[in-house]
Amino acid sequence: MNKLMIANWKMNKNSHEVAAFFSLFNEKYSGKRDAWIASQSLHFPLVEELKTSTIKAGLQNCSEHTEGAYTGEVSSRALKDMNGHFVLLGHSERRQYFQETSKNLNSKIRTAIQEGLVAVYCVGETLKERESGQTLTIIEDQIHQALNDQSKINSENLVIAYEPVWAIGTGKTATPLMAQEVHAHIRKVLKTKFPAFGEKIKILYGGSIKPDNVEELLAQKDIDGGLVGGASLKASDFLALCGDK
Ligand code: PGA
């Protein structure tokens, strides 16, 4: 299974910076690891235009509604129509600043999958939760609430991203063993929940991944790739994360 690296550009870059990224990235990217890019919505058509065909483009959030009177929202349907491949759902910044809960993410995942996108569902514990020994329970709960009663999920349309909240944008990375412990638990939960295909669902790690720590993280048995914020903004860094130095 190819490792998957997803760039989460968050609310960064202008159109010139997007173009500069691809002028270097396209030249050196070998396809050794899969590369997906989640840009701001407005830049999506530009990313689609500039990227090579092996790179997949998507967004950082979509509405749970398919269409209608929801001012300011972006639909999974419109994303799919524009050739989008995936959407990140439940990123901790969305949970923290926009009051998303695992329960309403259940609807967002359902809609995204129904419309033909891959849902990349993010889970993770806060520092307080880790320190009080609740990590595995919190994550299990986030998985159950968001993935319960979903009949259309399979190993191709769902990716899980484990991102400890205390490691996002802080420079503090979970050690490979800490990450592996949680990934193994997520794998176990997925196998129980989806016996036919749970084993094949990709589980990515996210939280201060950088060129100098990526290899030891990816060497862990249950880490199938990474979700990368800061280090995905520079083409040379993201190339290194994709195994292209
Ligand atoms: P970071 O962000 O790599 O900057 O820690 C990861 C993320 O938020 O997806």
Domain that holds residue 171: 4-241
64 is catalytic: no
CB of 160 within 8 A of CB of 121?
Answer: yes
Domain count, the chain: 1
What is the tens place of the pLDDT at every residue in 108-122? 999 999 999 999 999
Is the shortest distance between the CB of 227 and ligand 1 below 6 Å? yes
How much is the pLDDT for 229?
Answer: 97
Stated pTM of the model? 0.97
CA dist 125 and 142 (Å) reads 10
CA dist 221 and 244 (Å) reads 21
Distance (angstroms) between ligand 1 centre and the Cα of 207 equals 5
Distance (angstroms) between ligand 1 centre and the Cα of 93 equals 10
Is the shortest distance between the CB of 116 and ligand 1 below 6 Å? no
How much is the pLDDT for 102?
Answer: 94
Q: Render 14-50 in DSSP notation, one character per residue.
A: -HHHHHHHHHHHHHH--SSSEEEEE--GGGHHHHHHH
Query: Which one-letter DSSP state was computed for residue 106?
Result: H
What is the tens place of the pLDDT at every residue in 127-182? 999 999 999 999 999 999 999 999 999 999 999 999 999 998 888 888 999 999 99
Q: 77: alpha, beta or left, given left = phi > 0 and alpha = psi -120 to 50?
A: alpha
Q: Which residues of the chain have pLDDT under 70?
A: none
Hey, whose CA ends up nearest to atom 3 of ligand 1?
Answer: 229
The domain that holds 119 is classified in CATH as 3.20.20.70
